[in-house]
Structure 1
């Protein structure tokens, strides 16, 4: 079966010409230098340092109970999946060479790429696939995205030969290659290794890792795919985004993951720094927990959506690096959007709905880990807009670990999504989905989703997607104000970074080299 291609509007790479604002980065640069190990001149010349917000709960084994972008960046270096998304959103085969269903689409045969080496020199084989899948699907392991693979029967996994796996499914399922393309569906081997320190096939091998602080990696010379053209990678973790920008300015890091939009113009004007802006299917969501008061009342959810001035968020939180959205997950599908009206700010109608729901004096806390640019700014703008409707919103920033530990318990939070719709719907809107922070459970939505995942016809799938998006727009738990771009900034010694639809431009290193 052919993998699915998702369209992407032209991404653009640019330097931004603007007046340079002076920044006091000396103290932060010093603190970074103190936490980094000493490096010889020759080693530094062949080492790329990436800066991003870290999580003290991250693990080096890929099946974490949490889901943070810092962990995904590490997994992307150490492991591969059976399939993967390319930079433009196409699903490509990776460790698998093909995935073929029977006529009923309830048994799939996976043929593996031959000759793929693990980091310990052994060959990656069918037993590794079966062991990886059974671990992911075991409820005792609490692997967060396991619902994405719930169509697989763990007892129906069969080794045909070293390079062939037969998967018997619990029910017919159409988009199997798409489900495996998520970075978190990594394959690994525990033959001669431990579950906590498994062996991967990725472009880098792990030398050392301290969660929330630093990871050091060395290029894997026998990697089967596109090789990085530098020898070592250091991932430096920070607590806050502004510190990353300052470290880039000071030369302590080479690449800054997803820089604040307020810094784009000044960074783009600085000598020696390039700004890469990608149109993206990665964007934030303001999520209302539909299982608890006050957001179990659809009138309150509708009022909160009517409070939002989307153009102001686009312009002020993202500096124009975004487009206005319409309260459904929408720019990550090849399908046409549903025929629903564009929601705009209507404070009077919002007040009326709140009064009808007995929530005219509503006061709520909005939590975020601010791990992505625009999160705090969006929260603060919504709080200001809500005040005009008599609603009090207190925006509170948490560390990543605390935020994720109570992921599905917060009444009101700012989250993030980054996947095609066929994957997102499973995780984000269906009962038990690991990203379902809104606790959305809608009988009509669930029934249509079941039809979607049983279908293999693209036109039929698009019809179901439009119905699902219309339900999200009408009574879902998400406020989706904008679809933002993802902005990566890097020193000019880094050559070859490319735009990426799923927010990975800062840590996809195939073909990337270091100059000078």
Structure 2
């Protein structure tokens, strides 16, 4: 895909960083845009006393996906896609700050005793065309997502549902029939990309109709999208009159636009940028803690990491603070070789692992790996990856381990490292601990980067999913995490902050919600002071 020139635009230099190439760039002024439309909005009046003020347009800069961008919520993949989708559409549930499922369009849910049938009751909500959200809309949306001929993001998450057997039991009630007991069924309702669209909806870029807090005014793929307040939103009308999403692909472009007053919100800033502007008073820096797990994945099915003593030695080689300080510029906190620090079910009672080079050498000697040499795959595909690889190489040398750092292609890194190599840099965004286990640590998991294949571990997961009582289920998850802490394949050394920048007049931005959760990029609760 070729890139068109952007030198004529008021915001030059906007280029996509990531796995999609860009075509086009953002125009921050008025654009003659094609696509969706809606009625005008009334003028809001500020209160003048610090309470939320109604009115105004907020311009938010995100990295985009070029001319191939779409408003189809089931194709949402980039952060920009998700931010637009959650402004226009709703899910039945979404993830709270601790990654537990919180009701949204679903007012309540109730399981049977065997956890394989769930009754879901919808709240009273309407689509932007005034029609109520019904059970048929939900069933249509899920069946569309599950279409085997399509590549919709939430397809794998909906796999436990038998959509042929599931059915409406009323206008606003659904019985979901599951293929197996699933105690964490609400996580399916909150799955990334599981948005509800009107029954029979197929086109989304001309006149997309959702039930979200904003309705579409205009959309130019790779350039800009303008959404207007939906006054009849079930949770209350947004404070803003309008939100404009603009494409700014380079971090420097987003920052310069924020500093120059061309946007009021800039997504995904680097730690060095944050430090430079944190205390100068010109813009606000927002740090969303625990948003991205950072670590190394050891392939447990092949030498040398098929020996758990070698894995345990690597756990002890890592100086986690040095990795956070060096690879993340201090913008994060140390990990303890477990995913989901601060999330629901996290095993926070295990001792914090510290560097112990003497014990690491002893374990390597026991394993016959005193002069171990290993290749560490990395890439510039994610912030801190190449820095972390270099730092860990130097740490390992102190334990007598020689690490050869191999830098791979950004375009193919994630597919390459799933099956090849023995050791690689790895990261993950926020998701429930249950989802991390099911997607990455079961024998049949499709993204099992550590090749962790243990039938007894699989059985524990099924036991957790068959356990109705939350405390009893938490105990099973704790047991699974103790196993991973002892001899798993993920060396999780840190959790990175997700960093945003806003104009000082922007209020109401949630500072506790990790990226990918309900209150991240949630513009219906934001206002301009």
Tell me the TM-score normalised to structure 2 length: 0.79
Secondary structure at the residue paired with 2:237? coil
Is residue 244 from structure 1 mapped to residue 250 from structure 2 by the alignment?
no
After TM superposition, the structure 1 stretch with the greater mean CA deviation from structure 2, 431-440 or 475-484, is: 431-440
Deviations 1:259-305 (A, max 9, x none): 22222222112333012234335433433444566655545544443
Mapped partners of 2:247, 2:91: distance in 1: 25
Alignment of 1:59-98 (within 5 A): 59-64=70-75, 67-87=77-97, 89=99, 91-98=101-108
Q: Which residue of 1 aligns with 2:439?
A: 427
How has the CA–CA distance of structure 1 residues 288 and 132 changed in structure 2, closer, same or farther, with 3 Å as cutoff? farther
Deviations 1:410-452 (A, max 9, x none): 6424221302223332223224446544343322221101111
Is residue 164 from structure 1 mapped to residue 173 from structure 2 by the alignment?
yes
Q: Which residue of 1 aligns with 2:26?
A: 36
Q: Which residue of 2 aligns with 1:150?
A: 159
Mapped partners of 1:32, 1:251: distance in 2: 16
Paired residues of 1:286 and 1:413 also in contact (CA < 8 A): yes
After TM superposition, the structure 1 stretch with the greater mean CA deviation from structure 2, 493-502 or 429-438, is: 429-438
By how many angstroms is 1:383 displaced?
4.1
Paired residues of 1:202 and 1:223 also in contact (CA < 8 A): yes
Mapped partners of 2:347, 2:28: distance in 1: 53
Mapped partners of 1:217, 1:438: distance in 2: 42
Q: Which residue of 2 aligns with 1:20?
A: none
By how many angstroms is 1:73 displaced?
2.3
Is residue 398 from structure 1 mapped to residue 407 from structure 2 by the alignment?
no
Mapped partners of 1:414, 1:513: distance in 2: 36
5+ unaligned residues in a row in structure 1: which ranges?
A: 1-26
Aligned residue pairs, count: 479
Secondary structure at the residue paired with 2:435? helix
Q: Which residue of 2 aligns with 1:514?
A: 528
Secondary structure at the residue paired with 1:122? coil
How has the CA–CA distance of structure 1 residues 445 and 386 changed in structure 2, closer, same or farther, with 3 Å as cutoff? same
How has the CA–CA distance of structure 1 residues 78 and 290 changed in structure 2, closer, same or farther, with 3 Å as cutoff? farther
Larger radius of gyration: 2
By how many angstroms is 1:329 displaced?
1.3
Is residue 464 from structure 1 mapped to residue 464 from structure 2 by the alignment?
no
Paired residues of 1:62 and 1:186 also in contact (CA < 8 A): yes
Alignment of 1:5-404 (within 5 A): 30-32=12-14, 35-37=25-27, 39-40=29-30, 46-55=56-65, 59-64=70-75, 67-87=77-97, 89=99, 91-114=101-124, 116-194=125-203, 199-206=209-216, 207-210=218-221, 213-221=222-230, 222-280=232-290, 282-290=292-300, 298=308, 300-335=310-345, 337=347, 340-347=350-357, 350=360, 353=364, 356=368, 360-370=372-382, 374-386=384-396, 388=398, 389-396=401-408, 398=410, 402-403=412-413
Paired residues of 2:114 and 2:466 also in contact (CA < 8 A): no
Mapped partners of 2:420, 2:87: distance in 1: 32
Q: Which residue of 1 aligns with 2:495?
A: 483
Tell me the TM-score normalised to structure 1 length: 0.81
Cα-Cα RMSD: 3.5
Mapped partners of 2:10, 2:445: distance in 1: 39
Mapped partners of 1:339, 1:356: distance in 2: 32
5+ unaligned residues in a row in structure 2: which ranges?
A: 1-8, 16-23, 32-40, 42-54
How has the CA–CA distance of structure 1 residues 238 and 383 changed in structure 2, closer, same or farther, with 3 Å as cutoff? farther
Mapped partners of 2:348, 2:520: distance in 1: 33
By how many angstroms is 1:85 displaced?
2.6
Paired residues of 1:89 and 1:501 also in contact (CA < 8 A): no
Secondary structure at the residue paired with 2:465? helix
Mapped partners of 1:52, 1:38: distance in 2: 12
After TM superposition, the structure 1 stretch with the greater mean CA deviation from structure 2, 299-308 or 199-208, is: 299-308
Mapped partners of 2:440, 2:406: distance in 1: 25
By how many angstroms is 1:349 displaced?
5.5
Secondary structure at the residue paired with 1:445? helix
Mapped partners of 1:359, 1:77: distance in 2: 55
Is residue 496 from structure 1 mapped to residue 496 from structure 2 by the alignment?
no
Mapped partners of 2:417, 2:210: distance in 1: 29
Mapped partners of 1:296, 1:140: distance in 2: 37
Mapped partners of 1:446, 1:303: distance in 2: 25
